[in-house]
Amino acid sequence: MKLLVINPNISADVTALIDAEARRSAGTDTELIVRTAGHGVEYIETRFESLIAAGAVAEIIAEHCGGDPAADRIDGVVVAAFGDPGMPALKELTDVPVIGITEAALCAAALQGQRFSIIAISDRITAWYRDCVEHFGLGSRLASIRSINQSLNGIGTVQQDFKETLLALSRQAVNEDGADVVILAGAPLAGLARELEGQIPVPVVDGISAGIRMTEAVVALQSGFHRQGAFAPPVKHRRGLSENLDAALTAIQSAAGTSVAGTAVPAGK
Nearest CA to 237 among 250, 251, 254? Answer: 250
Q: Percent of the chain scored above 70 by pLDDT?
A: 93
Model pTM?
Answer: 0.90
Tens-place pLDDT, residues 36-70: 999 999 999 899 999 999 999 999 999 998 766 55
